[in-house]
Structure 1
Amino acid sequence: MSLPRIPKQRKIIGRRRLSATIAGIVAEKGAQAGRQDIVEALRTALADGRKELTHRLSRKPGAGHEHANGQAFLIDQLIRVIHDHVLEDVYPVGNRSSGERIALLAVGGYGRGEMAPFSDVDLAFITPDKPTSWCEQVIEAILYYLWDLNLQVGHSTRSLAEAARMAKSDLTIRTALLEARFLWGDQDVYDAASAQFWNEVVSGSEAAFVQEKLAERNARHKRMGDSRYVVEPNVKDGKGGLRDLQTLYWMGKYVHRVRSAAELVEKGLFTDKEYRSFRRAESFLLAVRAHLHTISGRGEDRLTFDLQREVAARMNYADRPGKSAVERFMQFYFLQAKHVGHLTGVFLAHMEDHTAQTSRVANFFSGMWPGKSRKVDGYLVEDDVIAAPSDDWFQQDPVRLIEIFTVAEREGLEIHPGTIRIARRDAALITAKVRKDERANALFMDVLAGRNNPENVLRWMNEAGVFGRFVPDFGKVNAQMQFDMYHHYTVDEHTIRAIGLVSAIERGALPEDHPLATDILPKLAHRKVIYVATLLHDIAKGRGGDHSVLGADVARKLCPRLGMDEKETELTAWLVRYHLLMSATAFKRDLSDPKTISDFVAEVQSLERLRLLTVLTIVDIRAVGPGIWNSWKRQLLADLFEAAQEMLRLGHKSHGRPQRIAAKKAQVAQLLGKQASLVDDLAEMFGDTYWIAEPEDVIAINLPHYAAAIEAQHSLSIHTEYYEALGSTLVTVIADDHPGLFFRIAGAIHLAGGNIIDARIHTNRMGKAVDNFLVQNPMGQPFSEAAQLQRLKKGIEDALANRIDMVPSLEKRPLKQMRAENFRITANVEFDNDASNRFTVIEVNATDRPALLNRLTRALFEQSLLINSAHITHYGERAVDTFYVTDLLGMKLDSANRMAKVERALLDAIAAGERELAQAAE
């Protein structure tokens, strides 16, 4: 195997010219004395070659194969020059013995000729027998030259016998030698090694190699996140990345002994069209990897947020209405990863049949099995795998493209990759006529709202291209990413995961994670509505405008086609339009404020809507990605659901609120046990909002703490404890209330290394502040160790006792560069005087950063505002902090000039934090 012809090779490197330069140095100074000059000549050649290749990449930014081959060619020529110099000038031997022979082999990715600018240079030095001292000297001299060039060299030195023995026992070595390419040196030794490898190592081990490679691939996928749709993918090792394509080639080459991927077509493993897809995906991924290495100046294979914009720009992607350049680039990336997934399925089905040497699939293209099988609705089924009975099965009736997925979901079957292949080929048969077909739509609804496992089947349908053809609006969000830190998956993958969650909850599979949704789902009067609304809730993303509004329009057009009546259609459209309402209310508003609940209920209007919206909200958040759903969000949503349900059942009757408070007091008394009398003793000191806002277990912590502080006459009392139920640390501060208390506590918590995720601020009738904060470390984990809790407590004590000067201390604290800095959220301040009867609600949107809350609350203090409650929410890089405030007289802000001054102060505080962080990064 040799490298493809490289255009204008001498512009990359002229080997003869470089050899002549080195010969001149040796003639003038000698090999040893001139060594440093030789190294400099090699460095110059390497730098010039890389510069030329970088220039070519900028002119042809998608030419992945050409660039990768060019990198390998550059290294080839350098190694050949170094080898010849060492043999001729450093360790010359007149008549070498039979043992003084060396073959240089390029192995691994270098052997394939696929190198990125900072890829490792993997070499194998092969000798006929145990290396002689001369061989060891030569190899060492070559390696030292390569190390002097700062190349990352992976190398091995083995005799022919040793190479065969180790390859038999080590999968990594076997894979490296599988791609071995003769580089330079003794051709006869290479030929002997190659013949030995294929005859002694490969022969008879094909099935074992395939199984080991599959196990290795599965372990790698699990390690990398097990989804090809994660928004910061690893181009090399991630699912759907280069390594998956290479694994296909390795297995094909090992079993069928092909020399290039093109020969996989001749062996029947790919069609011509699939091979072109293989090459297209490989070239694109190689190009992306080359840009990643070039931009970062190192071997970087992860397409992180900070690199995505620049790679997109280098590959000439531009903004379009509704989609930024980076989103368009990443959508194309995920489409290529999807093609890789399809190719993998097709390829592995062939390999399984070949290596198992069975006749299970006599004709892969038709999916017909000659052995014992059964028929289900005309389809062949064997070993829980369903297949089309003929190659033209879907052509005979395109509705079958939907039907086969329906049967698979209903019967709990897998679909044979050969049949997926045919479906992918024939997906274009789904025309407007098929989309309007009543039977086709009924079959689709049976999949979507299936009772077994609609998630997997919908994913197969999506990867076959059938889903997007049948629901074109879904096809538009296929592989579409959202360029932010909040969403972990593409829109289509997020949607399919959310549908899978609805199904799992309905089956009773997640009672501990989602007790509320588990209780609600059996009570729904419109079961199919929740599935269709989940499908459509993000369907209009990437179009520009409010995707909720646009999505509701899609629902009104699509639902009748799916067989839904007018009531179901309007209910679905309402859910899509307001699918963010419940989370926004629960996370950004004060649930103890009656106005919050009444406004929410005024929009929801019915118990069925409330139930449907609650389930949709839960699965939407949970399907965003790992770590997004937590017990704190579960509690807030449950509180909002219960309060709204009560109001819907009782109307606006006044006795509902006292009943809730009385019930909560009874529960707190039960938790307090012997101290239950504290509920009655202290009840009048706290207003209704306290009893409604705080969970029972937090009140059971607060009351003894408050009683002890009063008895000891402490003007300041701080309690910290690991709050397992909500995955955070509960910090309670009891102090004489005064303006500025909040921002000082927030600053102290930040100085102690904590982030406030929620704050509930209360001033009782004795003028005492009882403030509860939920705190996590920067990694989103609670402080749980005793020393950590003590440090947190001590920091707050020192800050409130004026033992530290807050502002200088915060300014001195080193700021870590955050991933959120790769994004720019336009700071925004909104005032709402209708959300509460007593308070002005101020909502601040900004890029998340350290000490943001401290800066905002300090700005509010300096504007002479009193904060009654604060609600801190994070959506990845976006922080949304909501404050319920009054002026010093307890009045709302009703002056436009006053609000403008507060807005300016908050925006200035945000801007100051951005400047500080920018300076820290320099």
Structure 2
Amino acid sequence: EHTSEIRYCSAHFAETAKWQSPVALSIEHTLGIPVQRDYRVGWRNVWATQSGLERLRRDPAAVLELMAVSSRFSKPIEHQTWREIRSAMLTRRITEIDRVTIQRFLELMSSSGNLAEQLRRLHELRVLEQIIPEMTHARCLLQFNQYHKYTVDAHSIRAVECVTDLESDNGLLGIIYRGLKNKRILHLALLIHDLGKGYAEDHSELGRQIAERTAERLRLSAQDKETLIFLVHQHLLLANTAFRFDLSNNEAAVKFAAIVGSSERLQLLLLLTYADLASVGPDVVNQWKVDLLLQLYHQTDSHFRDDKLGEGFRGEIAHRREVILQTAPNTKDEEELTWWRSQIEALPIGYLMRTTPHVAVAELANLRQLDTEHSLAWGKYIEPQQAVEYTIATRQSGRPIGTFHRITGALSSMGLQINAADIHTQPGDIAWDRFIVEDQEFEGAPPQARIDAVCRKINSALD
């Protein structure tokens, strides 16, 4: 809190120290275009008239109105007007909000554009806490874990920013986001999803209570209230299910679908989960995590949909399996053909979505060479993640337990930092595991000799 105040005071000092020509300032104020009676728009700034300042000091709705003018004309609010608003809000008592304030705030939350930046401004002006009082506790609240790099309030607004950035995303997440008819509940859920932190109780349970109070304060419809409470209360559900359960077993998706209840909620929860993870800190979200989220999304969505979209996805998965089978070695041996078919049918959906047919066939060919005594390991550098993916295949029959711990021990002994792991079992009791690791001894891609040495270490630990 004190650091935030120092930053604001420093910015204020820098702003007021800037020399401005009195003549230019006078001309701008004289020629400023009147907007909505109480505001003026010049060539550089937006500012309030004297009567406008009186309204701004006492009415959050007026501040939201001024913010809308600033956004519409793409002009910043003049610093003197900014100071007047902030000074008034610092001492203003939090009270019930009127319908006009609610309407303007919900209109703001329905937009995508520069929503996050406007929320930051409202937060700095101390207006946001007039609308959502729980933002006061979250201001500059530290999160003491190895993942979160931002305070609760900063993380919450960054989460909104991450989801609105999907407006220009060409992938499935962007398609789903642009297709939402009502984005405001998603944006609102992201803004308040972590406001239950900093207390002794579970923050998701407290979040449910905060969501209920927020819905009542903003006079949301019964349906929107129910959706908001669900999203905040269950904001960890998708990630916990995707990252902690074996998705090749459909049981996890069935239980997850029973909690979610509808395709519409599933879409909102997917977008919320992605934005929550992406706003935790740099490089927290990687392709492996996104693949798992999408895999669970598709598996769950199939329980809700009997329409063309669900059939289209299932058809795409079936087509990918068929292409891999056609790419496989041509054989008339019925036993070998049965082996290929069973292996391809068991490939995880996430793997099918991200892997080319030729790579899939090459890796399955490695599995076919396995015997009960020796394991196989291979690695490749992944440029976008600046990490190495190590794949390990071994027949589990007759082997001592602890395969996973033996692999992680071998990787750690080579000085590798494990970022992600994907554990999967193929027919024939074949353990087929992938580990995404950072090799901190090298800048960029490690040499092939290093990758080979790691593979030998893994094989030595397993054989």
Measured in 1, the distance between the counterparts of 2:250 and 2:377 equals 30
- What corresponds to 1:631 in structure 2? 287
Pair 611,754 (structure 1): closer, same or farther in 2 beyond 3 Å: same
Cα shift at 1:724: 4.3
Question: Residue 775 of structure 1 aligns with which residue?
Answer: 437
Contact 2:28 2:43 in 1 (8 A): no
TM-score relative to the length of structure 2: 0.85
Q: Quick one: distance in 1 between partners of 2:202 and 2:283?
A: 26
The answer on 1:573 being equivalent to 2:213 is no
The residue type paired with residue 707 of structure 1 is: A
1:758-795 superposed Cα distances (whole Å, 9 cap, x missing partner): 03242532x55444333333599986431221121121
Query: Alpha carbons of 1:698 and 1:729: their partners in 2 closer, same or farther (altered >3 Å)?
Result: farther
2:300 to 629, 644, 653: 644
Matched, 1:439 2:100: yes
**Equivalent residue for 2:268, pick from 590, 612, 631:** 612
Q: Residue by residue, what CA displacement relative to the aligned partner does 1:491-523 show, whole Å, maximum 9, x if unpaired?
A: 1111111112222323x2x43xxx222111232
**Number of the residue aligned with 2:400:** 739
Q: CA deviation at 1:650?
A: 4.1
2: CA distance, partners of 1:438 / 1:488:
37
1:502-555 Cα offsets, whole Å, 9 max, x none, are 22323x2x43xxx22211123224321111111111122112212112112222
Equivalences for residues 579-598 of structure 1 within 5 A: 579-598=235-254
- 1:36-51 equivalences under 5 Å are none
Superposed, 1:134-213 pairs within 5 Å as: none
1:350 is the counterpart of 2:13: no
Per-residue deviation, residues 555-580 of structure 1 (Å, max 9, x unmatched): 22222332421110111111001011
**Unpaired stretches in structure 1, ≥5 consecutive residues:** 1-334, 363-367, 802-922
Q: CA-to-partner distance for each residue in 1:728-776, whole Å, 9 max, x for gaps?
A: 42323334432244433332222222244203242532x5544433333
Check the 8 A contact 1:412/1:453 in 2, yes or no.
no
Distance 1:503 1:443 in 2: 19
Change (3 A) 1:473 1:743: closer
Question: Which of 442, 451, 454 does residue 789 from structure 1 map onto?
Answer: 451
Letter of the 1:764 partner, please give it. Answer: P
Q: Which runs of structure 2 are paired with 1:455-854 in the superposition (5 Å)?
A: 455-506=116-167, 508=168, 510-511=169-170, 515-650=171-306, 662-669=318-325, 672=327, 675=329, 680=337, 682-686=339-343, 689-692=346-349, 694-695=351-352, 697=355, 700-701=358-359, 703-707=361-365, 710=368, 715-724=374-383, 728-737=387-396, 738-740=399-401, 741-756=403-418, 757-765=420-428, 768-777=430-439, 784-801=446-463
Contact 1:632 1:727 in 2 (8 A): no
Structure 1 window deviating more from structure 2 (689-698 vs 573-582): it is 689-698
Please report how far the alpha carbon of residue 584 of structure 1 lies from its aligned counterpart in structure 2 after TM superposition. 0.7
1:468 offset after TM fit, Å? 1.8
Q: Secondary structure at the match of 1:775?
A: strand
2:3 to 337, 341, 347: 337
Q: Kindly name which structure, 1 or 2, has the bigger radius of gyration based on alpha carbons.
A: 1
Matching residue of 2:48: 388
Question: Does the aligned pair in 2 maintain the 1:585–1:600 contact within 8 Å?
Answer: yes
Are the structure 2 counterparts of residues 791 and 471 from structure 1 closer, same or farther at C-alpha, using a change threshold of 3 Å? same
Q: Distance in 2 between matches of 1:559 and 1:475?
A: 18
Cα gap change, 1:358 to 1:705, in 2 (>3 Å): same
Helix, strand or coil at the partner of 1:503: helix
1:276-305 deviation per Cα after TM superposition (whole angstroms, max 9, x unaligned): xxxxxxxxxxxxxxxxxxxxxxxxxxxxxx
Distance 1:545 1:396 in 2: 35
State the Cα distance separating 1:599 from its structure 2 match. 0.7
Note if contact 1:409-1:447 (Cα within 8 Å) is conserved in structure 2. Answer: no
Q: Give, in whole Å, the separation in 1 of the partners of 2:11 and 2:245.
A: 48
Specify the code of the residue in structure 1 equivalent to 2:200: G
In 1, the alpha carbon distance for the partners of 2:115 and 2:184 equals 13
Partner amino acid, structure 2, of 1:743: H
| Superposed displacement of residue 601, structure 1 | 0.5
Structure 1 residue 711 displacement after superposition: 5.9
Aligned to 2:23: 359
Identical positions, percent? 25
Q: Which amino acid aligns with 1:747?
A: G
SS of the residue 2:388 aligns to:
strand
CA distance in 2, matches of 1:759, 1:646: 23
Distance in structure 2 (CA, Å) of the matches to 1:739 and 1:658: 38
C-alpha distance in structure 1 between counterparts of 2:295 and 2:241, whole Å: 11
Secondary structure of the 2:134 match is helix
8 A Cα contact 1:489 1:624, kept in partner: yes
Q: Report if the CA contact (8 A) 1:717-1:735 is conserved.
A: yes
- Would the aligned equivalents of 2:227 and 2:265 in 1 still touch at CA under 8 Å? yes
SS in 1 for 2:435: strand
Computed over aligned residues only, the root mean square deviation of the Cα atoms, in angstroms, reads 3.3
Deviation at 1:412, TM superposition (A): 3.0
Taking the aligned partners of 1:657 and 1:386, their CA distance within structure 2 comes to: 50
Aligned-pair distance for 1:386?
Answer: 1.3
Structure 1 CA distance for aligned equivalents of residues 416 and 350 of structure 2: 23
Specify whether residues 676 and 341 from structure 1 end up closer, same or farther in structure 2 by C-alpha distance, changes over 3 A only.
farther
In structure 1, give the amino acid aligned to 2:84. I
**Superposed displacement of residue 648, structure 1:** 1.3
Residue aligned with 2:31, SS? coil
CA contact (8 A) 2:64 2:105 kept: yes
Q: Structure 2 vs 1, CA of residues 724 and 677 (structure 1 numbering), >3 Å: closer, same or farther?
A: farther
CA apart distance, 1:480: 0.7
Q: Tell me the secondary structure at the aligned position of residue 118 of structure 2.
A: helix
Cα drift, residue 593 of structure 1: 0.9
In the aligned structure 2, how far is the partner of 1:424 from the partner of 1:346?
12
8 Å CA contact retained: 1:409, 1:452: no
**SS state at 1:436 partner:** coil
Query: C-alpha separation between the residues in 2 aligned to 1:658 and 1:409?
Result: 43
Distance in 1 (alpha carbons) for counterparts of 2:69 and 2:237? 37
Tell me if structure 1 keeps the 8 A contact 2:140–2:151: yes
Letter of the structure 2 residue corresponding to residue 480 of structure 1:
L
Which amino acid counterpart does residue 10 of structure 2 have in structure 1?
Answer: T
Q: Distance in 2 between matches of 1:519 and 1:374?
A: 40
Q: Distance in 1 between matches of 2:455 and 2:276?
A: 36
Structure 2 contact 346–426 (Cα < 8 Å) conserved: no
Asked if the contact 2:158/2:279 (under 8 Å) is kept, the reply is: yes
The correspondence of residues 272-287 of structure 1 with structure 2, limited to 5 A, is none
Output the TM-score relative to the length of structure 1.
0.45
**Are the aligned partners of 1:749 and 1:796 in contact in 2 as well (CA < 8 Å)?**
yes
User: Any conservation in 2 of the 1:474–1:492 contact (CA below 8 Å)?
Assistant: yes
* Alpha-carbon shift at residue 487 of structure 1 (Å): 0.8
Q: Which residue of 1 aligns with 2:35?
A: 376
Contact 1:479-1:490 at 8 Å conserved across structures:
yes
Contact 1:729 / 1:782 at 8 angstroms: preserved in 2? no
